[in-house]
Amino acid sequence: DGGITQSPKYLFRKEGQNVTLSCEQNLNHDAMYWYRQDPGQGLRLIYYSQIVNDFQKGDIAEGYSVSREKKESFPLTVTSAQKNPTAFYLCATRLLAGGRYEQFFGPGTRLTVL
């Protein structure tokens, strides 16, 4: 867990602006994920990536974009097309080798749209 960093911790955005949330890991994990968490709801998958330069849409990808140019980094851009972006965003990683299934989470970024 200490090997996953997310920045910033808090982010405020005006309507119509794009913002990028950072996720960095030094665990040498292959897979990285972005989840969105809203009050009273579980975690919902936005995007995931298993290898560099490849990523797939999750259940709620509309209004979001990602890139995976390096194994260590998986930034998430919240675009102006996302109608209700205020939420807690969590990045997670997973080691694919060895049949291990555990996901490890970063500390999260709380995004508020003003």
Partner 1 sequence: GENVEQHPSTLSVQEGDSAVIKCTYSDSASNYFPWYKQELGKRPQLIIDIRSNVGEKKDQRIAVTLNKTAKHFSLHITETQPEDSAVYFCAASLSIAGGYQKVTFGTGTKLQVIP
Which residues are at the interface with partner 1 (CB under 8 A)? 1, 31, 40-45, 48, 50, 56, 59, 90, 94, 96, 101-108
Per-residue burial over 81-104, b = 16 or more CB atoms within 10 Å of its CB, e = otherwise: ebeebebebbbbbbbeeeeeeebb
The residue behind tokens 């009050």 is 39
**Minimum CB distance to partner 1, residue 21 (Å):** 14
Q: How far is the CB of 96 from partner 1 (least distance, A)?
A: 5
Minimum CB separation of residue 72 from partner 1 in Å reads: 18
> CA–CA separation, 46 vs 69, rounded Å?
18
Residue 7 C-beta-side C-alpha neighbours within 13 Å: 4
Q: Which is nearer to partner 1, 79 or 86 (CB)?
A: 86
In the complex with partner 1, the residue whose CB is nearer, 5 or 17, is: 5
